[in-house]
Chains A and B, each alone.
Chain A
Amino acid sequence: MVRAALAGAAMIEIAVLAGGALNNWRARRYGLEAGAELPGLTGYGLDIAAGPRQLRAACTALRLVSRRCGFCGQEEPDWRRLAPMMNAKHCELVLLLPGLNAAPYYPRASRIPEIVWVPLDWARTVNLLVSPTTILTYKGRIRWVRQGGLGPVPFSILTSEIETLPNDYR
C-alpha cells in the first residue's frame, strides 16, 4: 500500500512539476517574465470623460480580471489582506478588464482604476491569456507575474515581493 501510494503521489507531483514548467515556458514565450519591461499603459475606464488613465506609480499591481472568472473572485480576500501593505509601499492596484461586458469589476464607487479600452500597440506587446493574471511591476519592469489564480504559495511570494520593495519612493 505504501509503495502504491508513493508511486501515485510521485506521479502526481511529476505532473504538477510538468504543469508548472509548461506554465513557465508559456510565460517566457509571451514575454511575461520577471525583469522584462512592461510597456507603459494608457487606457480608458468606463468614465471616458475622466480622461485616459496611466500607470504612474513606481509600483503597480496590474490584474487582468473579469466578472465571469471564478478564480478572480476567489482571490479577493487575498487582495483585501494585501491592501494595507500595498498602501504602505505606495503600490497601486490597477485592473485591466478584457472587455466591456466584464466591467465594472468592483462597484462604481470603488477608487481602484479599471481600464477597459487600450491602444493596440500595448495589446500587441502584452499577451494576457488567462483571467486572473497578476503582474507586479516596479519602475516599469516586471518584478513578479502570476498567470492564474493566487493560491497560498503565489500569495506568499507576492507578499514577500511587495515587502522587499523600498519604503521611500513614490
Chain B
Amino acid sequence: MSRDVPDTPAGLILELGLTVALGLAAWSGSRALGSNWQSVTRRHDQQVAADSYLPSTMPAIASLGGVSPEGQAVLLEPSPNLVGSVIFVLHGAALQHDLEYWEVVHRRLASRNGVQLVGYCDGRACIAGLRAMHPSPPFTIVGYTEYHTAKMLLQADADHLAVVLDGELRSLGGLRWSASNPPDLIAAEISRML
C-alpha cells in the first residue's frame, strides 16, 4: 500500500478535511496574490506616468489649468491657435529670478504665435510670495494643480527641466533651464521644438 493512502476511515476524513482546508487557503491566498500583483503593476504604471515628461505619443497631463495663487480658477483650454505650451516650476526660494527668467523667454518668443508659457508654484512659499508681490508676468501662473500633474512637474523639476508640450498636451521633451542656459537659448530651443 502506498504511504499516501490513509489506513483508516478516520485518516481518510482527516486528509480530506486537510485538503479542503488547504484548498480554501490556497483559493484565498491566490485572490490576495492577484490583488497584490495588480497593486504592484499599477504602481509601476503610475510611476512610469509620473515620468511622462519624456517624449510620448500620449498626453503627458490631463489639463494645464488649476487654481491661481490668489484662488481664482485658471482655465487653459486648448484652442485651434495653440501650437504648444511650455510648463515649468517657479521656486519660492528664487521667485524673482525665476519670474525674470521666464519674462525674458516670453519676450524672445513674442513673434511666435500660439506658444503659451505656464509656471507652476513649487508650494505654499511661492504662493505666499506671489500674493505679496502682486507681479503681473506676461504668462500664466498656477498655484494649485492636479495631483498627477504636480507629480510629473516635480519629476521634471528634479531634473531642472521645463517641459514642452504640443497642442494636444503630448510631451515633446524637456529643456534644462538654469543660469548656464540663458533665456535666449531656451527661447531658441522652444522655437525649434514647436
Note whether A and B form a binding pair.
Answer: yes
Chain B nearest Cβ from A154, distance in angstroms = 10
B36 contacts A119, C-beta separation under 8 Å: no
B151 contacts A123, C-beta separation under 8 Å: yes
Q: How far is the CA of A56 from the CA of B25 in the complex (A)?
A: 43
Chain A CB within 8 A of B193 CB: no
Q: Name the residue of chain A whose CB is nearest to the CB of B90.
A: A120
- For B37, list chain A residues within 8 Å (CB): 19
Question: Main SS of the interface on chain B?
Answer: helix
* In the complex, chain A residues 110-125 whose Cβ is within 8 Å of any chain B Cβ: 116-124
- For A26, list chain B residues within 8 Å (CB): 43
Chain B nearest Cβ from A14, distance in angstroms = 9
Q: Name the residue of chain B whose CB is nearest to the CB of A147.
A: B39
Q: Of A5, A117, A124, which contacts B145 at CB under 8 A?
A: A117
A118 contacts B147, C-beta separation under 8 Å: yes
Chain A CB within 8 A of B54 CB: no
B19 contacts A128, C-beta separation under 8 Å: no
Chain A nearest Cβ from B102, distance in angstroms = 16
Q: Which of B118-126, B173-181, B183-191 contacts A (4 or more CB under 8 A)?
A: B118-126
A117 contacts B40, C-beta separation under 8 Å: no
B143 contacts A129, C-beta separation under 8 Å: no
B89 contacts A120, C-beta separation under 8 Å: yes
Q: List 7 A-B contacts (CB under 8 A).
A: A8-B26, A16-B29, A22-B36, A64-B147, A117-B144, A123-B154, A130-B43
Supply 14 further A-B pairs (C-beta < 8 A) apart from A122-B123, A124-B123: A1-B4, A1-B19, A2-B18, A5-B22, A16-B33, A19-B32, A19-B33, A96-B147, A100-B63, A117-B145, A120-B154, A123-B154, A148-B35, A151-B32
